[in-house]
Amino acid sequence: MTKSNAQAPLTAAHPVRVQSMTKQYPNGKLAVEDICFELSPGTFFVLLGPSGSGKTTMLRCLAGIERLSGGRIEIGGRAVAAPSIHLPPEQRELAMVFQDYALWPHLCARDNVAFALKRRGVHREEARRRAEILLGRLGIGALCQRFPSELSGGEQQRVGLARALIGDTGLLLCDEPLSNLDAALREQMRVEISSLVREAGTTTIYITHDQAEAFALADRIGVLEHGRLVQLADPETIYAAPATPFVARFTGLAGELAVRIAGRAPTGEVEIHLDAGTNPVRLLATPGEGLDRHTGAGLLLVRPAAVSLAEPGGTGCQLLGKVTDVAFRGVGYEHAVVLVDGTPLSGIFSPRRARRGDNVGVALRPNGCLAFAAGTSTSSTAIGR
């Protein structure tokens, strides 16, 4: 933690290696399949996917709560799960932060945290002293003596986080720890988790279905779809070069346009033609993964950052539409627009407020407009990207 509170770590941050991890439940459901990834020590890895994509199953397999059906997991260079190996959670040198806090109801905040150290052989008084320091660091030092039932959700989650971090275990697993908190507290806790975990240097695997949380926290993001890892990359790459339309949709689009792909421009961008309802429009876009030399029917996926409002008929105006919604966002306004051909676009940011019903121009930038061939499979085997 901070220099003045520093304790010699009991364990250094662990590397993690997962090979062909597969889990089939007894009812036959193949929840995760052939998952492969490697994390260097200290990486903050976020597993992102919709409900039912296999995030919890993966985390439970890593923790040792579930047995693998196939594959291998190494934590800190040691096999903890393999065809003939299954170490229980307490032998894996990891700590967990849970969605529902999972504190001992009969222990006060300090003893909930100290318990994790006492289990590792640290003397009771020393464990309590260190627990108090860490709870103070998390802003709830004054609440040390309170029981979980006397703490708010955010305070309980801070206790949960302190309990997971105090032992300096080499791997931290986080099961949607912010999902039960309200929006303002979620943002505050996100910042606290990010800074505490990075200060501690722990390798972290964090699951969420919230792309904004994933982008804000992660060094690396793994996107899960139907139990398969469809892309593994840093947040910037996932945003700029999603491996599939599914990844693009799940990580935030303003909208989708049916287009014709005419060919490559000399700059490497893709030349797009679309019938915008009034007159044909030509645009440049970024080639999506696997587009190669495809021409013909295409799909243009538009990131919110690639679209802006323009004066109808003015320079930069490529498409025409009508404003259907305006939301004030503090630093400016987010608009929803329906184009004259009926295509909806949303999340269009402007510092200027347009009114509902206004006719507006829409400008698209090539960077953030991603062209895929029409009918591109939503799945991919782009593991390891």
Return the DSSP state at 261: E
Q: Closer to ligand ADP by CB, 55 or 303: give it.
A: 55
Mark residue 104 as left, alpha or beta (left: phi above 0; alpha: psi -120 to 50; beta: remaining). Answer: beta
The answer to whether 383 touches 36, Cβ cutoff 8 Å, is yes
Q: Closer to ligand ADP by CB, 12 or 65: give it.
A: 65
Q: Closer to ligand ADP by CB, 67 or 123: give it.
A: 67
CB of 62 to ligand ADP, least distance (A): 12
The answer to whether 269 touches 283, Cβ cutoff 8 Å, is no
Q: Closer to ligand ADP by CB, 101 or 333: give it.
A: 101
Size of interface with ligand ADP, in residues (CB under 6 A): 12
Per CB under 6 A, contacts with ligand ADP among 13-32 are 25, 27, 29, 31
Type of residue numbered 22: T
CB of 245 to ligand ADP, least distance (A): 20
- Return the ∠ at Cα 68 (arms to 64 and 70), rounded to 5°: 150
CB of 35 to ligand ADP, least distance (A): 12
The answer to whether 321 touches 362, Cβ cutoff 8 Å, is yes
Q: How far, CA to CA in Å, does 332 sit from each of 216, 316, 335, 358? A: 21, 20, 10, 17
Inter-axis angle of helices 153-166 and 109-118, nearest 10: 20
Q: How far, CA to CA in Å, does 33 sit from each of 36, 94, 178, 244, 338? A: 9, 23, 27, 18, 40
Q: How many Cα atoms sit within 13 Å of 213 on the Cβ side?
A: 25
Lay out the site mask for ligand ADP across 41-80 (x = CB under 6 A, - = otherwise).
Answer: --------x-xxxxxxx-----------------------
Which residues are 344's β-sheet partners? Answer: 338
Per CB under 6 A, contacts with ligand ADP among 233-262 are none
CB of 69 to ligand ADP, least distance (A): 12
The answer to whether 167 touches 116, Cβ cutoff 8 Å, is yes
Residue 208 interacting with ligand ADP (CB under 6 A): no
Nearest CA to 367 out of 281, 288, 298 is that of: 288
The answer to whether 22 touches 16, Cβ cutoff 8 Å, is no
Residue whose pair of structure tokens reads 């892309």 in the numeric block: 231
Q: Closer to ligand ADP by CB, 57 or 380: give it.
A: 57
CB of 60 to ligand ADP, least distance (A): 8
The answer to whether 304 touches 249, Cβ cutoff 8 Å, is no
CB of 229 to ligand ADP, least distance (A): 12
CB of 63 to ligand ADP, least distance (A): 13
Q: Closer to ligand ADP by CB, 51 or 84: give it.
A: 51
CB of 52 to ligand ADP, least distance (A): 4
Q: Closer to ligand ADP by CB, 54 or 71: give it.
A: 54
CB of 223 to ligand ADP, least distance (A): 11
Q: Closer to ligand ADP by CB, 47 or 310: give it.
A: 47
The answer to whether 362 touches 307, Cβ cutoff 8 Å, is yes
Nearest CA to 379 out of 222, 237, 227, 207 is that of: 227
Which residues sit at the interface with ligand ADP, rule CB under 6 A? 25, 27, 29, 31, 49, 51-57
